[in-house]
Each structure stands twice: as C-alpha cells, then as structure tokens.
Structure 1
Amino acid sequence: MAHALGLFFDDSAEDAVRALWKRLEAAGVPSLASRGHRRHRPHVTLAVAGRIPEGARHDLRAELSLLSVPDLWLYTLGTFPSDESVLLLGAVVDTELIAVHSAVHDVLAGKVSAPSAYYFPGAWIPHCTLAIGITGAELAKGFTELCPPEPIRAPVSEIGVIDTRTGDVETVLAL
C-alpha cells in the first residue's frame, strides 16, 4: 500500500476537472475516471510514500494549520516522462505553493517509509492528472481536444492522506 498527501479542490474546481475528464472520454481518450479510478477525486499531490504513519499525520495537521494554503491555478496542459503516458493540468507555481510544499516535506522527513523522490522539493511538478497509461495517439488526441485549456481557479478545501490502493481519503485539514 502507498499513501499520498493531496490538495483537494472546492466543488466548482472539482466539477471543472471532471468536465475535462468527460470531454476526454467523449473524444475516445480514457480519462483517469475511466481507468478504474471512479472514486478518484481531482487533486494535486504534495508527497507520496509507502506509508504516512499517524504520528506524521498529526504533525502535518499541526504544521498545515499554521500555514496559508493558496488557491491553485490549474493552467498548463502538459505531460512528463514516465513509464506510462500522462496527460496533466499543471498548477501555476508561486512562492506560497512552494512554501506549503516545503513545509510538508520538512514535516515528513524521516517519518515516512519509502518516500517518492518525484515529489521532493526541486523535482516536484504540481499537477492534476487527467489521463494516465494512454497511448501516444490518445495523448495527442487529448491535447487536441483540450487545447487551449481554460484556467481553473482551484481553491483548496481539504488536505488529506490518500490510500492509493483503495482511493480512501483521511482528512488531515479541512479548510
């Protein structure tokens, strides 16, 4: 089992991302929702580890309650090198988002098992996944369908630990 720490959006932003998933599916591109992730909620992942234990979750609650979590702007349609092709909506990176991300990793350092280096400061690409494990032709079709993307203002309504196997989310902080 793996755990991820995610920033979840308000209803309006979540609906906007789900509308993009539906547009992809209508164009014949399997979205994240159609790939067995029906329970999946749109989010931006801050950290991934084999396990985020309860003590680390407690420390995250304490630290995150002191921070100002910014609204996200999901603006850039993109992809990145991976074992599986990924179509994503990138978040605009600003100093506030970097501060939250850095604080999370400061709290988690030495407290989690098997942290993923892809989410470490300096390597992290903040994004909301639209499709994963698609072919090159599907990736191109997805770009064609969604370009140019409309920016989505995504106020963060919740920060939670996701069980990546089941999709269950434990709220760490409700905003």
Structure 2
Amino acid sequence: MYGMIALFDEQTEKRIQGVWEGLKQEGITSYAYDVSNREPHLTLASYSSLNVEAYIELMDSHYQTREVVNLAFNTLGTFIQSGTLFLSPTVSSGLRELHSEHHRIFEKFNDNPESLYLPDSWIPHCTLANRLSRKEMKDAFEYCTDTLKPIVGKIVEVALIELVTPSEVQIVHSVSLKEQKHLD
C-alpha cells in the first residue's frame, strides 16, 4: 500500500510531535510510536498498488515548481465511531488546489474509486491518535483542548510513502516545495 502525503515545516512538525509525546506521557495512547518513521502529515492520496517509477517521474516533473502551501490548524475533531482524533486545517484555496491538482494530474494512478482521499470525499486531517476506546477518546480530547493552541504552518514537502509492514512506513521519494515568491 502507498500513500501520497504532505509534510510540514519543522516548527509545525515539532508542535504535533509534542502532542503525540504528551498523549503518551499522560498514558492515553502511544499511537504515534506504533509505526516506525511516522511523521505528522496530511494524506493527499492512497493506492493499493503503484507503478512507482512512473509515479516518481511525474512527481518530480509536477512538484518541482510547486510552491509551499500555508496552513492553519484550528479544529480538533473525530470521525464518527472511528476512535480517531485529529487536527484539521482550514481548507484554504491553496490547500484545495494542491489536493485537487494532485488528483487531476495523477488520476491514472487511482486504483480505488471509493477512496476517502478523492476530491469529493477528502477531509484533510493530521491524525493525533487512532483506535481509541471511548475513555481514551475522552481523555485525549480533554488533553488536547487543555494544551493545544491553533497551529499556523506550511506544507513544505510532498512524499510518496509505502507501508512496508503494519508497523513500518518508509518514504520512497519526496520533493521539496519552493518557497513562495514575495511581491515587493
């Protein structure tokens, strides 16, 4: 299984990792540490199988000129009856464009017409915890509402990942996005 993910700037990454660490220290969940090499991210797309070489070639040609996308995480939420707690960014025009453009350009790779990551189904989110019991969800939600402040950051890189085993994910290829041009 493969995923296309958006990775954050270092400060945003550290803030989310701090939440993961706090949830672990509070004895609520060690979700973030269940998979080696897990990084805070937004999933843009997922694939059951993939022509990796062709995908990487298209990634390089498409994303080499793509600019960094600004993000603002202001929402803490859950998917109904999922046991998942997440941060959700404001769906800005930049984020919407990054996602929809990805699916338009990489459409030939889509092998799941029911994917929750397709443009009409996508709810952008960065998972803080997963597989929580009702009590763990309550505790995690309380911890996050007590400690979190809004996070303003950037998507600075996109990466193709592979789920190697249920407990290991590996970055197959990544492309750094260009800094935004400032008009003076």
- Shorter-chain TM-score above 0.5: yes
1:171 is aligned to 2:173: yes
1:139 is aligned to 2:137: yes
Q: Is the 8 A contact 1:51 1:114 kept in 2?
A: no
Q: Closer, same or farther in 2 for the Cα pair 1:173/1:31, shift >3 Å?
A: same
**Once the two structures are superposed, what CA deviation does each residue of 1:13-70 show, in whole Å capped at 9, x if it has no partner?**
1111110011111222114223x22420111110011123221232232222343331
Larger Rg: 2
Q: Closer, same or farther in 2 for the Cα pair 1:139/1:72, shift >3 Å?
A: same
Q: Closer, same or farther in 2 for the Cα pair 1:115/1:48, shift >3 Å?
A: farther
Deviation at 1:90, TM superposition (A): 0.6
Unmatched 5+ stretches in structure 2: 178-184
1:49 is aligned to 2:47: yes
State how far apart, in whole Å, the 1-side matches of 2:49 and 2:2 are.
Answer: 5
Q: Is the 8 A contact 1:4 1:48 kept in 2?
A: yes
**Once the two structures are superposed, what CA deviation does each residue of 1:76-117 show, in whole Å capped at 9, x if it has no partner?**
1111136x4101011110111111101111122122434651
Candidates 102, 105, 109, aligned match of 2:103: 105
In structure 2, the residue matched to 1:63 is: 62
State how far apart, in whole Å, the 1-side matches of 2:132 and 2:69 are.
Answer: 31
TM norm structure 1: 0.89
State how far apart, in whole Å, the 1-side matches of 2:50 and 2:89 are.
Answer: 24
Q: Which residue identity is paired with 1:163?
A: E
Q: Closer, same or farther in 2 for the Cα pair 1:115/1:7, shift >3 Å?
A: farther
Which SS does the other structure have where 2:39 is aligned? coil
Q: Is the 8 A contact 1:32 1:129 kept in 2?
A: no
> What stretches of structure 1 move > 3 A for 4+ residues in a row?
112-116
Q: Which residue identity is paired with 1:95?
A: S
TM norm structure 2: 0.85
Structure 2 counterparts to residues 65-84 of structure 1, below 5 A: 65-81=64-80, 84=82
Aligned length: 172
Candidates 120, 123, 126, aligned match of 1:125: 123
Q: Is the 8 A contact 2:4 2:159 kept in 1?
A: yes
Which SS does the other structure have where 2:99 is aligned? helix
Q: Closer, same or farther in 2 for the Cα pair 1:118/1:152, shift >3 Å?
A: same
